[in-house]
Chain A
């Protein structure tokens, strides 16, 4: 399934992942670069958001700048995977939860306001599922986030 996108949509998606203008009217500045009106930029972004192509126009924060978080994994027996995944997803502290092809087949990210809350949530997960959690906190970030070149073809 390939999504149909207009030229303006493609440019908005690809060219402004990183340097949203820090000016009083950022969308007007973008519009000027694109040769369209401010309202067109705003309406197009709004539509892309409604279609689910854009998650938000905003900031990507460095992990651990605010709050604490960790990547975590569980090795879940296949027959229990859906039930356990649902139980993990139900925690408000979980913001990603994926099945991956590995013995450790459930991977999720747990975020909390501080260390004790985070440890408490992980312990609670172990108790409620009866499975142990592999916690893999980030120690160093090598990635400079330049956005992602969408390579329209």
Chain B
């Protein structure tokens, strides 16, 4: 693969992410596997970091306001709840309309992720990715048809990549090593990347 183009993309992305203080990074590390299920979860996290409960609450609120935390709450596993069909749909969209379409897709609650990614020509012409969950393949197909119609995509090339086997799934871990088990016991989290 072409590492120089890849590095350039990463630099572009990272330049848009704001600075995080060391305490924020430590806080993120402390909660990335989840908050304690006990009456004072934030106080417990605070004790582990040697800061006050108030500071934890203030920093989490600030991270949420800045969008570093996209949401804070119960993270469910879709598959375990019967949403067994999951498709990644990839679209080859003209560069000048990709933002408009991305925002159109995001308006549908069955679209659980929507990202722009670089094309890798000649093997990979697709630049807009979205993830669609449903209980059955037919339900997912119907939702894709709805997107095509309502976002005006009749002339746009797309491909639907249904998932088959899940070899591994767990939340992203940024501090060192991931601890998620593989295969049968795989832990689902967000589809954050």
Q: Report A's interface with B, CB cutoff 8 A.
A: 1-3, 12-13, 16-20, 22-28, 38, 42, 45-46, 49, 51-71, 85-86, 88-89, 92-102, 104, 107-109, 111, 113, 115, 118-119, 122-123, 126, 132-150
Question: Are B60 and A22 interface neighbours, CB within 8 A?
Answer: yes
- Closest Cβ–Cβ distance, residue B61 to chain A (whole Å): 5
Measured in the bound complex, the distance between the Cα atoms of B113 and A82 in whole Å is 27
A95 and B71 in contact (CB under 8 A), knowing A56-B34, A138-B116? Answer: no
A98 and B17 in contact (CB under 8 A), knowing A55-B77, A57-B35, A62-B67? Answer: no
Question: Are A99 and B187 interface neighbours, CB within 8 A?
Answer: no
The listed residue with most A CB atoms (<10 A of its CB), out of B71, B72, B73, B182, is: B73
- Closest Cβ–Cβ distance, residue B33 to chain A (whole Å): 6
Q: A-side binding surface: helix, strand, loop or mixed? A: mixed
One digit per residue, 1 when the CB lies within 8 angstroms of any chain A CB and 0 when it does not, for chain B 30-73 equals: 01111101111111000000000100010011011001111111
One digit per residue, 1 when the CB lies within 8 angstroms of any chain A CB and 0 when it does not, for chain B 16-34 equals: 0100100001001001111
A45 neighbours in B (Cβ, 8 Å): 37, 74
Q: B-side binding surface: helix, strand, loop or mixed? A: mixed
- Closest Cβ–Cβ distance, residue B79 to chain A (whole Å): 9
- 6 A-B pairs with C-beta separation under 8 A: A17-B74, A59-B63, A65-B17, A97-B169, A101-B161, A144-B106
Question: Are A145 and B180 interface neighbours, CB within 8 A?
Answer: no
A66 and B6 in contact (CB under 8 A), knowing A22-B72, A38-B39? Answer: no
B109 neighbours in A (Cβ, 8 Å): 146, 148-149
- Closest Cβ–Cβ distance, residue B46 to chain A (whole Å): 11
Question: Are B165 and A99 interface neighbours, CB within 8 A?
Answer: yes
Residue of B nearest to A109 (CB): B193
Question: Are B170 and A119 interface neighbours, CB within 8 A?
Answer: no
Residue of A nearest to B42 (CB): A24
A68 and B10 in contact (CB under 8 A), knowing A98-B163, A136-B117, A143-B115? Answer: yes
Question: Are A126 and B115 interface neighbours, CB within 8 A?
Answer: no
A89 neighbours in B (Cβ, 8 Å): 167-168, 182-183
Question: Are A142 and B75 interface neighbours, CB within 8 A?
Answer: no
Question: Are B123 and A134 interface neighbours, CB within 8 A?
Answer: yes
Question: Are B70 and A61 interface neighbours, CB within 8 A?
Answer: yes
B111 neighbours in A (Cβ, 8 Å): 143
Question: Are A19 and B72 interface neighbours, CB within 8 A?
Answer: yes
Question: Are A20 and B72 interface neighbours, CB within 8 A?
Answer: yes
A66 neighbours in B (Cβ, 8 Å): 20, 25, 28, 174
Measured in the bound complex, the distance between the Cα atoms of B161 and A13 in whole Å is 28
A25 neighbours in B (Cβ, 8 Å): 39-40
User: Which single member of B12, B38, B191 contacts A139 (CB below 8 Å)?
Assistant: B12
A136 neighbours in B (Cβ, 8 Å): 117-118, 120, 124, 129
Residue of A nearest to B34 (CB): A56
Question: Are A98 and B164 interface neighbours, CB within 8 A?
Answer: yes
Sample of 15 more A-B contacts, CB < 8 Å, known A45-B74, A92-B176 = A3-B81, A18-B72, A22-B64, A25-B40, A55-B190, A62-B68, A71-B129, A89-B183, A98-B166, A119-B3, A134-B120, A138-B13, A142-B115, A147-B71, A150-B81
Question: Are B3 and A55 interface neighbours, CB within 8 A?
Answer: no
